[in-house]
Amino acid sequence: MNFLKDFTMEDTFFGKREELLSSTILPYQEAAIKDQIPGAAKSHAAANFEAAARFQKTGRKTEEFYGEVFQDSDVAKWLEAAAYSLLKTPDAELKQRALELIHTIGEAQYPDGYLDTFFTLKYPERKFTNFQDAHELYCAGHMMEAAVAWHECLENDELMQIMLRNADCLYEHFIVRKNPGYSGHPEIELALLRMYKATGEEKCLQLAEHFLNARGQDPMYFLKESKARDWQLGNTSFNTDPYYAQNYAPVRKQRKAVGHAVRAVYLYAGMAAYAKLAGGTVFSDDAKPAGGTGLSDDAKPAGGTGLSYDAKPAGGTGLLSDGKAGDAEMAEACRALYESITTKQMYVTGGIGSTYIGEAFTTDYNLPNDTVYSETCASVGLIFFARRMLDLEPLGEYADTMERALYNCVLGGMQLDGQRFFYVNPLEVDPAVSGVIPTHRHVLPKRPKWFGCACCPPNVARLLGSLAEYAWGRTKDTIYVNLYLAGRLELPDLGVRILADTGGYPYGGDLFYRIIPERPGKCFTFAIRVPAWSRNTRVTCDGKNVEIKDGFAYIKGPFMEETKVTVILDMEPHKVYANPSAAADNGKVAIQRGPLIYCAEQADQEADLFSIRAEEDGGIHVLPFDEKTLGGIVPLELDARAEGEFDGLYSFKKPEERKCRLRLIPYYAWGNRETGRMRVWIPE
């Protein structure tokens, strides 16, 4: 089964965003990588492949490489997103253009499978000598993910064949010839595992396993690699920092999320996917999956000893307590790393990465709101990681984290019209400071046009295009609702349809699911998430209460007739308090309603935003849904006090205050009006 194909979205909130993907985001990004946008930073990403293809044909270099060393990945991410979009919104011309691009990519490949336009055009003799910075394996990984998407969504294997040849080339280099190295920027690990699950090609699994096993065995590996060559790329100081690229220890020994946040969560996602696969004798012949969805794990090899939760032993956690568990160490590392992020290093918006220096994690509870990095890609990667943790262990909190990152940081990364994107997602902005002074130069108060480095926009695009994979989950006998998307899920093998009516979610909290057996139903369990933010949730099945466990409500089949599952979420808004060790939030509150974190923008206030404090015992007022504002929102108002005029820099005189209401909008919608001050954490 394949949720991308089997689920049809009919969601008021995400439907329009899915529509933006085909109407706006993909065309804009296609024009960008083809240098067709006047005034935008030159990309040359498509042209690099064309030039490399000409070089393969003629042996002559007619054009220089241009762009970042990872420019190829922009093409890959666009192709991946295009596959998702084409599945739902067929467009013969778009498909034709994409296939031409894929064809060019094939022509740009060396006969041995090597593919990377930077090295092909610039320094062929330097290939495979700089895994720290050169992003060869990272670009390959993204192209592999695109190949999986074309394979699964469009049954087109042209790119898959190219990337299987590329995997052969890597297999030859790393496994056969035993050359050292692994990617400074993880990504290929999770991509190879998707390739393996899609095709059953064992070389992909072996390579992924090799990269994971090799990482961090020698924390000084990148430094040695750097000294072994007479050329460098970029900021080589990171070479000496084994935390930056998460190779400070073998991955199974890692417990703290460190370094470049995107690299980290891509690695951890690969680790979690591997831990799930490694549930048993993964190299035995019967372990080859028959092809699958890449993300959902119905393809779990037969005969395994079981990390899947339907197979949970009584009394244990299911994850580590099974003595026969294949790679318990890997699973344990994943859980520790997940906790390191979500219980110590995550912004309330689901953003991660506290500093622009290395775009990195810093230390526990260091969560500055104004100098934050919180890259959109990092939250996309956190969703990848949490989704794979859900596969390992069906705890609702993993889905809560996906939801937090998706509805707040990731959606906030995109302008409402889909035309502009943030890389950095601050929780406090002052246009006099943000984007202006050196320590805040990376924090922009409004979304800019296409960047020279364009990682985030296509990452958002491919996530929006494949939301069904995140919203739904499945083990052998359970269907999971992880995220609440309205629509229709067909499960042909179970002979069942599931209709999801999620009302005005995330603004409304009354969810209605109908399980409709179309032929005598197989026995399976329907599990729907009960989010931790809902303090009082009522789940009923045909009017009867349902047992809730570890963040999911389980309704056991068989379903002989239509069955109604109703989830009434508690949509009371709440003040959120932060741990006192998070010094930046001391004495402040954030406001959350449903999955949405709110923020205050200057545009909505009569007084200076920075002069307004929440009343300690004040209420939060829920205003009616306002369809005309910011694409439709439920605004909130907070009982507050505003200071009067303040004279000078410091004063002994307590500023005069008057009661007021602080108007709040969902964080994802900020920065869509005039530029002004914004903050999530409000002094109380």
- For a second copy, the closer CB: 520 or 648: 648
- For a second copy, the closer CB: 19 or 615: 615
Q: Is 646 in the site for a second copy (CB under 8 A)?
A: yes
Question: What does the DSSP assignment read for 82-142?
Answer: HHHHHHHS--HHHHHHHHHHHHHHHHHS-TTS---HHHHHT-GGGTTS-TTTS-HHHHHHH
* Closest separation in Å from C-beta 574 to a second copy: 4
Binding test (CB under 8 A) with a second copy, winner from 16, 575, 621, 673: 575
C-alpha gyration radius of the chain: 25
* Closest separation in Å from C-beta 590 to a second copy: 8
**CA–CA dist 58, 51 (Å, integer):** 10
- For a second copy, the closer CB: 360 or 410: 360
* Closest separation in Å from C-beta 370 to a second copy: 7
Q: Is 403 in the site for a second copy (CB under 8 A)?
A: no
Cβ(17)–Cβ(9) below 8 Å = no
Per annotation, catalytic residue among 334, 455, 541, 599: 455
Residue with tokens 């072996």: 206
- For a second copy, the closer CB: 432 or 623: 432
Question: What does the DSSP assignment read for 169-232?
Answer: HHIIIIIIS------SS--HHHHHHHHHHHH--HHHHHHHHHHHHHTTSSTTHHHHHHHTSS--
Q: Is 363 in the site for a second copy (CB under 8 A)?
A: yes
- For a second copy, the closer CB: 288 or 663: 663
Q: Is 430 in the site for a second copy (CB under 8 A)?
A: yes
End-to-end CA separation in angstroms for the chain:
50
- For a second copy, the closer CB: 293 or 342: 342
Binding test (CB under 8 A) with a second copy, winner from 316, 452, 587, 619: 587
Per-position b or e across 122-143, b if 16+ CB within 10 A of its CB: eeeebbbbbbbbbbbbbbbbbb
Q: Is 580 in the site for a second copy (CB under 8 A)?
A: yes
Cα 17 to chain centroid distance, Å, stands at: 16
Task: Report how far apart, in Å, the C-alpha atoms of 279 and of each of 39, 43, 247 are.
Answer: 52, 43, 24
Q: CB neighbours of 267 closer than 8 A, spacing ≥ 6?
A: 186, 189, 215, 246, 251
**CA–CA dist 593, 606 (Å, integer):** 23
Size of the site for a second copy (CB under 8 A): 60
Q: How is residue 623 annotated by DSSP?
A: P
Binding test (CB under 8 A) with a second copy, winner from 195, 331, 348, 386: 348
Q: Which stretch binds a second copy (CB under 8 A): 382-390, 586-594, 628-636, 666-674?
A: 586-594
Q: Is 570 in the site for a second copy (CB under 8 A)?
A: no
**CA–CA dist 215, 245 (Å, integer):** 10
Closest to 140 (Cα-Cα) out of 165, 115, 106, 104? 115
Cα 653 to chain centroid distance, Å, stands at: 48
3-state class of 408 per DSSP?
A: helix
Q: Is 139 a catalytic residue?
A: no
- For a second copy, the closer CB: 23 or 366: 366
* Closest separation in Å from C-beta 332 to a second copy: 20
Binding test (CB under 8 A) with a second copy, winner from 24, 366, 415, 525: 366
Q: Is 214 in the site for a second copy (CB under 8 A)?
A: no
Binding test (CB under 8 A) with a second copy, winner from 583, 623, 658, 659: 583
Q: CB neighbours of 223 closer than 8 A, spacing ≥ 6?
A: 239, 240
Q: Is 19 in the site for a second copy (CB under 8 A)?
A: no
Q: Is 343 in the site for a second copy (CB under 8 A)?
A: yes
- For residue 205, which amino acid is it? L
Q: Is 124 in the site for a second copy (CB under 8 A)?
A: no
Q: Is 217 in the site for a second copy (CB under 8 A)?
A: no
3-state class of 636 per DSSP?
A: strand
Per annotation, catalytic residue among 18, 145, 359, 469: 359
Q: Is 613 in the site for a second copy (CB under 8 A)?
A: yes
Closest to 528 (Cα-Cα) out of 479, 594, 466? 479
Q: Is 261 in the site for a second copy (CB under 8 A)?
A: no
Binding test (CB under 8 A) with a second copy, winner from 128, 365, 451, 512: 365
Closest to 637 (Cα-Cα) out of 646, 626, 645, 627? 626
- For a second copy, the closer CB: 582 or 665: 582
- For a second copy, the closer CB: 231 or 652: 652
User: 311: burial class by Cβ within 10 Å (0-12, 13-18, 19+)?
Assistant: middle
Q: Is 293 in the site for a second copy (CB under 8 A)?
A: no
Q: Is 169 a catalytic residue?
A: no
Q: Is 576 in the site for a second copy (CB under 8 A)?
A: yes
Q: Is 533 in the site for a second copy (CB under 8 A)?
A: yes
Footprint on this chain of a second copy (rule: CB under 8 A): 342-344, 346, 348, 354-355, 357-358, 360, 362-366, 368, 370-371, 428, 430, 432-433, 436-439, 533, 535, 574-583, 586-588, 590, 592, 608, 610-611, 613, 643, 646, 648-655, 679, 683-684
Instruction: Please list the active-site residues.
Output: 359, 455
